[in-house]
Structure 1
Amino acid sequence: MNVFGIGLPEMALIMVVALLIFGPKKLPEIGRSMGKAIRSFQDASKDFENEFKREAEQIETAVKTTAEIEPKQITPAPIAAENIAEHSATPEAESQAVATSEPS
């Protein structure tokens, strides 16, 4: 039996010292309160572990759903026809437009 790195002989020595210090009337009460404290600590650690796992699963599902979106579903905003005409003009057309708009 090895609890917290303490073997059976060490545990017996600790119990004898505790019995001598606290006495036989207080020892069961102290043991009960320590047992309750350890139980509450275990419950709190299980709650923390469950909450951590739940958050990790939510993040994982969010990442999976984001990765599963097909590229077809993401479309760029429509571009106005005037912007297309402005940006698709050839250099020759631009030089003609500049030549006609400048007074000679």
Structure 2
Amino acid sequence: MSLASIGIPGLIIILVIILILFGPRKLPEIGSAVGKTLAEFKKSTREIMDEESVTKNIESIEKKEIE
């Protein structure tokens, strides 16, 4: 079951349940926390990809120097 199979009605139901559980006052705090978490995840992913790219470049340079 993927997220795409939930559909718009399912998302609306989930949002209503979240609103009932946390109340309207807490929703901005929750949204902010989720946004910060996603931003940190993207930043970490980007850093890992950059490190991997640098490592591959160093390996290819060393390989060329050996030849």
Specify the TM-score bucket, using the shorter chain as the normaliser.
0.7 to 0.9
Any stretches of 5+ residues in structure 1 without a counterpart? 68-104
Deviation at 1:5, TM superposition (A): 2.4
Which protein is richer in helix relative to its size? 2
**Which SS does the other structure have where 2:24 is aligned?**
coil
Runs of 4 or more off by more than 4 Å in structure 1?
none
Matched AA of 1:38: L
Aligned sequence identity (%): 30
RMSD, aligned α-carbons:
1.4
Over alpha carbons, which structure has the higher Rg? Answer: 1
Alignment partner, residue 5 of structure 1? 3
Higher RCO structure, 1 or 2 (CA under 8 Å, sep 6+)? 2
Q: With the length of structure 2 as denominator, give the TM-score of the two structures.
A: 0.84
Q: With the length of structure 1 as denominator, give the TM-score of the two structures.
A: 0.56
